[in-house]
Amino acid sequence: MAMDEHTDITTDATTDTATDAVTDTATDASEDVAALAGSDDVTRYPIAPGYRVNVRTGPGTKYGIVRTLPYGMKIPVYCQKPGERVTGPYGTSNIWDNIANGQFVADAYVHTGSDGYIAPRCD
């Protein structure tokens, strides 16, 4: 069963403007994520515009929420792991992206440019 994995489902033509307005804040937040993970030299991928995505302790919606990413966030993907199938703006997938130690987001909400794995599998 596919689950929604975002906290705000409101999207409309004004979303792009609102997302642009928070880009500076989101960039600061993505730098904080990279600092927590211990690396500044990693590719970051954007979260779907207009979505605030939950970060969880494991690869599924039954895992606890660590925090919620702000609009316009770009995240590192250190490794990926199969888990619960989730439907988002980029399709339906069971891939979950590890963005920091013990922190996962559903790949269906991350614009990686691929429907498959773009990083090594997590151990």
pLDDT tens string, the chain, 123 residues long: the values are 445 565 543 333 333 323 333 333 344 444 444 444 445 678 999 999 999 999 999 999 999 999 999 999 999 999 999 999 999 999 999 999 999 999 999 999 999 999 999 999 998
Q: How far is CA 37 from CA 23, 31, 68, 102, in A?
A: 21, 10, 17, 10
pLDDT value, residue 32: 47
- Take residue 56 and report the two structure tokens written for it: 């969880």
pLDDT value, residue 53: 97
Residues 6+ apart with CB under 8 A from 13: none
What pTM was estimated for this model as a whole? 0.70
pLDDT value, residue 42: 85
Q: How far is CA 92 from CA 15, 41, 80, in A?
A: 22, 29, 15
